[in-house]
Amino acid sequence: MHIAIVHDTVGQKDAPDAKDVLAQADAVAGALRHLGHTHFRAEISLDMATLVRTLSNGGADLVFNLVESIGGKGRLIHLLPYCLDAVPLPYTGAPAQAMLLTSNKTMAKKWMETSAIATPAWIGPFPGGNGKGRFGSADKSTWIVKSVWEHASIGLGPESIVKNLTADAAYAALAGRAPALGGACFAEAFVDGREFNLSLLTGPDGPEVLPPAEIIFDGYTADMPRIVDYRAKWDEAAYEFHHTPRQFDFDTTDGDLLERLKTIALDCWHGFGLAGYARVDFRVAADGTPFVLEINTNPCIAPDAGFAAALTRAGIAFEDAVARIIAGSFR
């Protein structure tokens, strides 16, 4: 096949989270060559008509969709699959509706509730929520303020944790946070516990849950919030970057919990109509209750990312995973 790798437009001055897509494109290109496919690359912009002409003129049989934002806006991530559906042209990964539903985090949380998937209480979004959301207790609580649309921990840091606020007070505080969080944000009840992520990969017999990974907050002091914030993901000079390793080895006492996480990850796949590959992020409370934080339908597949690490742990070569993702786009 002749495959178009479509990704964000990236400039020299862009931040590390934006440039990371180039490493993903390089890895996919190498896998395609190994599999005997030809390929070309195309950057996406708001000029979708030009992109469609590029794909047509290039003779693309399939689009390998690596788009994480358009024009620097994560809230536009779903536009490419909707556009390709209209052409039509097959593409890898989640279908358009699932991409939209999971990218809007408060919309996703409402859908989780209809699917009986536990997710932390929240308030918002701002703007547009009018204070509505699924409130937690009327008592004062600890909240974490997040972007509605942006992923990759953009805008997330120690200041994102706000303590001793009622739900009403948490909502009132959102207006001041929204500009730094892509223009829209919400407050989520902070689950002070363990953090896991589980990757999923399509296969001939349905989705396969890859080995669970736990994020270890190594050496964190009591005043350091145990969150995977922007510095932990992208700032190589930061303490957090070097002290949040993932681990795949667990005590036998975690066996039941890990099975629950796998079951919930599959519930997310089927409940949201996912395809290709995905990642589900969890927090587990002190009493052992798991909560889904978010579902990433287009997770990073760079060689140093968690998805690639889970593949290695599962004994699946990256090229074989790419082959499964491509095959899944035609089912």
What are the sequence ranges of the domains in the chain? 2-91, 109-189, 192-212+248-328
- Please determine, for residue 138, whether its predicted confidence score (pLDDT) is greater than 80: no
Share of the chain above pLDDT 90, in %: 75
- Please determine, for residue 168, whether its predicted confidence score (pLDDT) is greater than 90: no
- Please determine, for residue 136, whether its predicted confidence score (pLDDT) is greater than 60: no
Query: Tokens for 84?
Result: 């390709």
What was the pLDDT predicted at 235? 86
Q: With 0-12 CB in 10 A as exposed, 13-18 as middle and 19+ as buried, what is 292? A: buried
Which of 300, 319, 321 lies closest to 23, judged by CA? 300
Mean pLDDT of 263-282: 97
Pick the range with the lowest mean pLDDT from 96-100, 148-152, 182-186, 294-298. Answer: 148-152
Mean pLDDT of 17-35: 94
The CA distance from 303 to 246, in Å, is 14
- Decide: 319 and 35 in contact? Cβ < 8 Å: yes
- Decide: 123 and 88 in contact? Cβ < 8 Å: no
199-226: buried (b, 16+ CB within 10 Å) or exposed (e) per residue? bbbbeeeebbbbbbbbbebeeeeeeebb
The CA distance from 282 to 239, in Å, is 23
CATH class of 2-91: alpha beta
Helix (H, G, I), strand (E, B) or coil at 52: helix
Sequence-ordered alpha helix ranges (H) in the chain: 16-35, 48-57, 79-86, 96-103, 105-114, 167-172, 174-177, 230-234, 239-242, 255-272, 306-314, 318-328
- pTM (2 decimals)? 0.94
Mean pLDDT of 291-308: 95
Mean pLDDT of the chain: 92
Residues in Cβ contact with 152 at an 8 Å cutoff, skipping those fewer than 6 apart:
17, 20, 68, 230, 233, 234, 300
Name which residue leads in pLDDT, 173 or 249. Answer: 249
What was the pLDDT predicted at 82? 96
Mean pLDDT of 48-62: 96
Q: How far is CA 288 from CA 144, 158, 205, in A?
A: 20, 24, 31
CB-CB neighbours of 266 under 10 Å: 18
DSSP symbol at 70: B
Pick the range with the lowest mean pLDDT from 11-25, 234-248, 270-284. Answer: 11-25
Mean pLDDT of 158-164: 90
- Decide: 95 and 275 in contact? Cβ < 8 Å: yes
Q: Using pLDDT thresholds of 50, 70 and 90, give the confidence band for residue 12.
A: confident
Asked, colleague to colleague, whether 2-91 and 192-212+248-328 share their fold, the answer is no
146-165: buried (b, 16+ CB within 10 Å) or exposed (e) per residue? bbbbbbbbbbbeeebbbeeb
Pick the range with the lowest mean pLDDT from 93-107, 157-171, 273-287. Answer: 157-171
- Please determine, for residue 137, whether its predicted confidence score (pLDDT) is greater than 60: no
The CA distance from 109 to 95, in Å, is 19
Pick the range with the lowest mean pLDDT from 42-51, 147-156, 307-316. Answer: 147-156
Name which residue leads in pLDDT, 230 or 262. Answer: 262
Interior CA angle at 239 toward 233 and 242, to 5°? Answer: 60
Residues in Cβ contact with 47 at an 8 Å cutoff, skipping those fewer than 6 apart:
none
Which CATH number does 192-212+248-328 carry? 3.30.470.20
